[in-house]
Amino acid sequence: MDPLGTLLPSVVVAALPDDLATVTPVTEPASRGFLTTLRVYFMLTKPRVIELLLVTTVPAMVIAAGKLPGLGLIGAVLLGGTLSAGGANTINCWIERDRDQVMRRTHSRPLPNGDISPNAALIFGLVLEAVAFAWLAVTVNLLSAALSVTAMLFYVFVYTIWLKPRSPQNIVIGGAAGAVPALVGWASVTGSLAVPAWIMFAIVFCWTPPHFWALSVRYRDDYAKAGIPMLPVVIGIAAASRQILVYAVVTVVVSLALVPAGHLGWIYGITALVSGGLFVAGAAQLVADATPERAMKLFHYSNTYLSLLFVAIAADVLVRAG
């Protein structure tokens, strides 16, 4: 008997809130082709979320090294990060399968849609995490592996199980998990952590609430129906929009601190000012016109903003390095 299929599921279930400790059974999927099955497992990992997480990893490696690190190291870190984030997202899908079934935005995910059994999904997520830790520990270093698994544990137990169903500040604290890839990138090069790494962590940490709350404005009714106390559900869209503006301003201020701390130049500085100004302007427009449409514009731009910011970090270092 596979201990992963018996012991670990019971451990995670024991930590679930009462309303999720008993879940609706999902019908076993019918026979399907290999490619279809592969796609189901792939979608469990939330690949779009992984893409954004990895955007912060390589620039952190570049600034830590002061140049482009070896391609072998970059590949090893990206593979390990992908496996780890995919495992965490899969476990998140397993925990939230009942909530996902209620929400229009998520009801077609593999688990609520009945494309895969809960046990198979959980074992897949746990295996991804185990492989990710082993891979990073062997090919990169133990600190990177430890940071990666810590992010998973924080995301699953602190955010998904504890905070998300209980507190409107869930994403403020829980967002720390999504900021860890910047630390992993730095640690992979230096074997330690330093002030610039923590500032990059803080950028993503502060960026997460306005990013996710903008999405929550658009799907406020979904979250309310699922009983999830996202900020727009609890305090209303107008008040949440003002909080989004505050966090957008804080994010831009923190991003500028990386100029002196990371010894960055005009490429990053100008990018941080211009893209950050647009981020704050978009948040201010949401305050003035708190509609789902305006919120989605800000949500999409927030993805672009974070990507531009971290690409500018790498570009600044590489251009000056010659």
Q: Tokens at residue 31, please?
A: 């026979």
What is the distance between the terminal CA atoms of the chain, rounded to a whole angstrom? 57
Tell me if 21 is assigned to some domain. Answer: no
Lowest mean pLDDT among 4-8, 104-108, 185-189, 281-285: 4-8
Determine how many CB atoms are found less than 10 A away from the CB of residue 20.
17
pLDDT at position 23:
42
Q: For residues 262 and 64, what is the distance between their CA atoms, to the nearest angstrom?
A: 9
pLDDT at position 49:
81
Q: For residues 125 and 110, what is the distance between their CA atoms, to the nearest angstrom?
A: 13
**144-183 pLDDT, tens digit each:** 999 999 999 999 999 999 999 999 999 999 889 999 999 9
Average pLDDT over residues 53-62: 93
Residue count of the chain, please give it.
Answer: 322
Tell me if 22 is assigned to some domain. Answer: no
The residue range of the domain holding 260 is 41-321
pLDDT at position 48:
84
pLDDT at position 54:
81
pLDDT value at 82 more than 80 = yes
pLDDT at position 32:
65
Contacting residues for 312 by C-beta, under 8 A, at least 6 apart = 267, 268, 271, 272, 275
pLDDT value at 28 more than 50 = no
Tell me if 45 is assigned to some domain. Answer: yes
Tell me if 157 is assigned to some domain. Answer: yes
pLDDT at position 52:
78
pLDDT at position 51:
83
pLDDT at position 31:
53
Average pLDDT over residues 84-105: 93
Q: For residues 313 and 289, what is the distance between their CA atoms, to the nearest angstrom?
A: 33
Q: For residues 23 and 231, what is the distance between their CA atoms, to the nearest angstrom?
A: 25
Average pLDDT over residues 44-55: 85
Average pLDDT over residues 73-84: 96
Q: Into how many domains does the chain fold?
A: 1
pLDDT at position 50:
82
- The percentage of residues in the chain with a pLDDT greater than 70, rounded to a whole number, is 90
**131-147 pLDDT, tens digit each:** 999 999 999 999 999 99
Tell me if 6 is assigned to some domain. Answer: no
Instruction: Classify residue 7 as exposed, middle or buried by CB count within 10 Å of its CB (0-12, 13-18, 19+).
Output: exposed
pLDDT value at 196 more than 50 = yes
Contact predicate 264/295, CB 8 Å: no
Instruction: Classify residue 152 as exposed, middle or buried by CB count within 10 Å of its CB (0-12, 13-18, 19+).
Output: buried
Tell me if 144 is assigned to some domain. Answer: yes
- The percentage of residues in the chain with a pLDDT greater than 90, rounded to a whole number, is 81
| CA distances to 78, 240, 245 from 289, in Å | 39, 12, 13
Contact predicate 200/56, CB 8 Å: yes
pLDDT value at 44 more than 70 = yes
Q: Tokens at residue 235, please?
A: 């305090």
Band (1; pLDDT cuts 50, 70, 90): very low
Provide the total of helices (H) and of strands (E) in the chain, helices listed first. 17, 0
User: Which CATH number belongs to the domain containing residue 136 in this structure?
Assistant: 1.10.600
Tell me if 145 is assigned to some domain. Answer: yes
Report the mean per-residue pLDDT for the chain: 90
Identify the three-state secondary structure at position 26: coil
Average pLDDT over residues 186-208: 98
Average pLDDT over residues 267-291: 97
The alpha carbon dihedral of 63, 279, 158, 112 has a sign of negative
Residue labelled with tokens 């940071």: 147
Band (17; pLDDT cuts 50, 70, 90): very low
